[in-house]
Amino acid sequence: MINVKNIDQINRIRECCHLLADTFDFLENYIEEGITTLELNKIANDFILKNGGTAAFLGYGGFPGAICSSINDTVIHGIPDSTKLQKGDIIGIDMGIKLKGYFSDRAMTYAVGEIPNEARQLLKVTEESLYKAIEAAVAGNRIKDISKAVTTHVRPYGYGIVYDFCGHGVGLAVHEEPSIPNYYPYRGFNPRIKPGMILAIEPMINMGTADVDVLSDNWTVKTGDRMLSAHFEHTVAIFADHTEILTKY
């Protein structure tokens, strides 16, 4: 069932999303060569707690971190540890917050210092595909229009569009219906986009194959060919006459 939110709920989810945006802005200052992903995890978690929220991912399904920290060929769900960032790495940070009973979700992929041109292009195209998807996420369209926008933008570059994981509804829980695949065409649920929907749209794009491997920790997802992967995500609210990016303000 798709949860359509009322104005009061949207306002509360917006407040939660704004705290998440602030957390990303704060954490970004620390993403540099030599810092560990566990240190980044603590910085983010401390900031969230200081501002009255809790890390939505911490303990969710047993996940041990406040953030997902996914370096280079890790697509998503990287577990924070003692790994130090190195110049030339890319790192995807995926975070969610619970604030006063409501949830937010966002992801960004960052360059650590100077990175190769092909890596920079992957980040650029992936982020562009997110905004193309958001442009398609308007009342009256369907979920597949979001998927088609991502695929249409990414496919000319020959990148792999991850099909094993997708976006989703959010707001009253970490994950809600509907699922939002990034690839098109696909078979499956294709609901109409309606005012009051809150969607977490999140292209996950691989430099090479679209295939992925889940490691033995049952969390870490790697690209099948161990080439780079990028991940960008925003939580958006659908209104009758516009779509608002809640995790950016």
CATH no. for residue 175? 3.90.230.10
**C-alpha distances out from residue 129 to 154, 185, 192, 246, Å:** 7, 16, 21, 18
Cβ burial 119-150 (10 Å sphere, 16+ → b, else e) = beebbebbbebbbbbbebbbbebebbbbbbbb
Residue 2 lies in a domain: no
User: What tens-digit pLDDT sequence spans the chain (249 residues)?
Assistant: 999 999 999 999 999 999 999 999 999 999 999 999 999 999 999 999 999 999 999 999 999 999 999 999 999 999 999 999 999 999 999 999 999 999 999 999 999 999 999 999 999 999 999 999 999 999 999 999 999 999 999 999 999 999 999 999 999 999 999 999 999 999 989 999 999 999 999 999 999 999 999 999 999 999 999 999 999 999 999 999 999 999 998
Domain count, the chain: 1
Q: Which helix (H) or strand (E) holds 198?
A: strand 198-201
Residue 102 lies in a domain: yes
**C-alpha distances out from residue 203 to 30, 42, 114, Å:** 24, 26, 23
Neighbouring residues of 187: CB distance < 8 A, sequence distance ≥ 6? none
For β-strands 212-214 and 221-223, DSSP reports them as: antiparallel
The range of the structural domain enclosing residue 59 comes to 7-245
Q: Is residue 198 packed enough to be buried (19+ CB in 10 Å), middle (13-18) or exposed (0-12)?
A: buried
Residue 1 lies in a domain: no
